[in-house]
């Protein structure tokens, strides 16, 4: 086992990628604090804190708890997130706002609370968990994709702004990872009640769910995170997950959009 003195905060660590990453880093010797919206017992060498990233006071209190115990904060992993399924037309403003409150503003709240600590230390690393869905639109996951696109832009900007303070900011972009995210996906209220997109939505969501549950083990993302933290000069983006999805990210940059869109629609069983 490697031994580290670094203190790590991982949001959304009660399940999925967050839990796998927290346990893996703890095994490597990092002092790991995980968060969840509800009370969650310490597990696998990870100290769990109840912290809702949509509540600025709760975020501040969580970080202050870590500082009181450890005296520093070296790594922040913004992993907490969720998504709705449903057509863009059938996503309400309230549902869109709830998605952004967690996936975007939650990231912002945690960064705002952690950055003064890291600036005072003259060092730190922030890893924002985005998604391959932050690089390409996904049918019936429009607001989730929009939130991850926003995280991409926020991270690119923040990385430039804080580099002079010795702070690195990195994007981790998972493809399909086998977690309970599939079971926890909510359907928008209008999509559940409407027939407009029902047949296509059901067909596409079946494909999405099958891809997710046939995806990579969360440990793959956890090991990628460990590699990021071990790097002396981490790059901006780290894409992880099934090989064909990582290839799709590359292909999108080089082929005409019409061709890429056709392939994507074929993959998701979309009518043209």
In this prediction, residue 202 carries a pLDDT of 92
In this prediction, residue 241 carries a pLDDT of 83
Q: Which residues pair with 77 in a beta bridge?
A: 10, 127
Active-site residue, 130 included: yes
Q: Which range marks the domain in which residue 26 is found? A: 7-267
**Residue 25 placed within a domain:** yes
CB-based contact 189:85 (threshold 8 Å):
no
**Residue 2 placed within a domain:** no
Q: How far is CA 131 from the centre of its chain?
A: 6
Residues 83, 86: Cα–Cα separation, whole Å: 10
Is residue 247 packed enough to be buried (19+ CB in 10 Å), middle (13-18) or exposed (0-12)? exposed
Lowest mean pLDDT among 121-135, 140-154, 181-195: 181-195
Q: Please check the confidence at residue 212 and state whether its pLDDT lies above 80.
A: yes
Q: How far is CA 272 from the centre of its chain?
A: 31
The phi and psi torsions of 56 (rounded to 5 degrees) equal -60, -40
Q: Please check the confidence at residue 3 and state whether its pLDDT lies above 60.
A: no
Per-residue b or e along 89-120, where b marks 16 or more CB atoms closer than 10 Å to that residue's CB: ebbeeebbebbbbbbbbbbbbbbebbbebbee
Residues 225, 227: Cα–Cα separation, whole Å: 5
Mean pLDDT within 191-209: 92
**Residue 134 placed within a domain:** yes
Active-site residue, 244 included: no
Q: Please check the confidence at residue 1 and state whether its pLDDT lies above 50.
A: no
**Residue 248 placed within a domain:** yes
Lowest mean pLDDT among 68-77, 155-164, 181-190, 217-226: 181-190
Share above pLDDT 70 across residues of the chain, in percent, rounded to a whole number: 99
Does an H or E element contain 132, and which?
none
Active-site residue, 231 included: no
Mean pLDDT within 12-38: 95
Does an H or E element contain 230, and which?
helix 218-230
Give first-to-last CA distance, the chain, whole Å: 53
Q: Please check the confidence at residue 56 and state whether its pLDDT lies above 80.
A: yes
Pick left, alpha or beta for residue 144 (phi over 0 → left; psi -120 to 50 → alpha; otherwise beta): alpha
In this prediction, residue 230 carries a pLDDT of 96
**Residue 193 placed within a domain:** yes
The structure tokens listed for 38 are: 């509800």
Active-site residue, 30 included: no
Residues 111, 119: Cα–Cα separation, whole Å: 12
Q: Please check the confidence at residue 32 and state whether its pLDDT lies above 80.
A: yes
Domains of the chain: total: 1
Nearest to 6 by CA among 36, 26, 34: 26
In this prediction, residue 4 carries a pLDDT of 62
pLDDT band at 38 (very low <50, low <70, confident <90, very high): confident
**Residue 1 placed within a domain:** no
For the whole prediction, is pTM greater than 0.85? yes
**Residue 91 placed within a domain:** yes
* Active-site residue (options: 30, 148, 201, 238): 148
Name the DSSP class of 216.
Answer: B
Counts for the chain of helices (H) and strands (E), in that order: 11, 9
**Residue 272 placed within a domain:** no
In this prediction, residue 103 carries a pLDDT of 98
Q: Which residue has the tokens 């600036």?
A: 119
Mean pLDDT within 219-237: 96
Average pLDDT, the chain: 93
CATH number assigned to the domain comprising residue 130: 3.40.50.720
Q: Please check the confidence at residue 29 and state whether its pLDDT lies above 50.
A: yes
* Active-site residue (options: 30, 33, 144, 201): 144
3 or 85: which leads in pLDDT: 85
* Active-site residue (options: 36, 130, 131, 147): 130
Size of the chain, expressed as the number of residues it contains = 272
């Amino acid at each position: 086992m490697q031994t580290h003195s670094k203190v790590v905060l991982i949001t959304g660590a009660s399940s999925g990628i967050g839990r796998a990453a927290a346990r893996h880093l703890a095994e490597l010797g990092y002092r790991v604090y995980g968060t969840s919206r509800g009370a969650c017992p310490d597990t696998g060498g990870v100290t769990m804190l109840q912290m809702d990233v949509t509540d600025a006071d709760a975020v501040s209190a969580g970080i202050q708890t870590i500082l009181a115990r450890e005296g520093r904060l070296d790594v922040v992993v913004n992993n907490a997130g969720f998504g709705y399924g449903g057509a863009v037309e059938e996503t309400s403003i309230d549902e869109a706002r709830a998605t952004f409150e967690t996936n975007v503003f939650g990231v912002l709240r945690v960064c705002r609370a952690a950055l003064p600590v890291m600036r005072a230390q003259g060092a730190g690393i922030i890893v924002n968990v985005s998604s391959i869905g932050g690089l390409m639109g996904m049918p019936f996951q429009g607001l989730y994709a929009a939130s991850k696109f926003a995280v991409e832009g926020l991270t690119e900007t923040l990385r430039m702004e804080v580099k002079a303070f010795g702070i690195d900011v990195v994007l981790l972009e998972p493809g399909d990872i086998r977690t309970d995210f599939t079971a926890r996906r909510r359907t928008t209220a209008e999509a559940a009640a409407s027939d407009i997109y029902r047949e296509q939505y059901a067909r596409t969501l079946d494909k999405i769910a099958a891809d997710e549950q046939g995806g990579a083990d969360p440990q793959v993302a956890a090991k990628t995170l460990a590699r990021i933290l071990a790097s002396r000069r981490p790059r901006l983006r780290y894409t992880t997950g099934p090989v064909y999805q990582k290839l799709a990210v590359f292909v999108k940059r080089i082929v005409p959009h019409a061709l890429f869109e056709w392939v994507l629609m074929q993959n998701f069983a979309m009518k043209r």
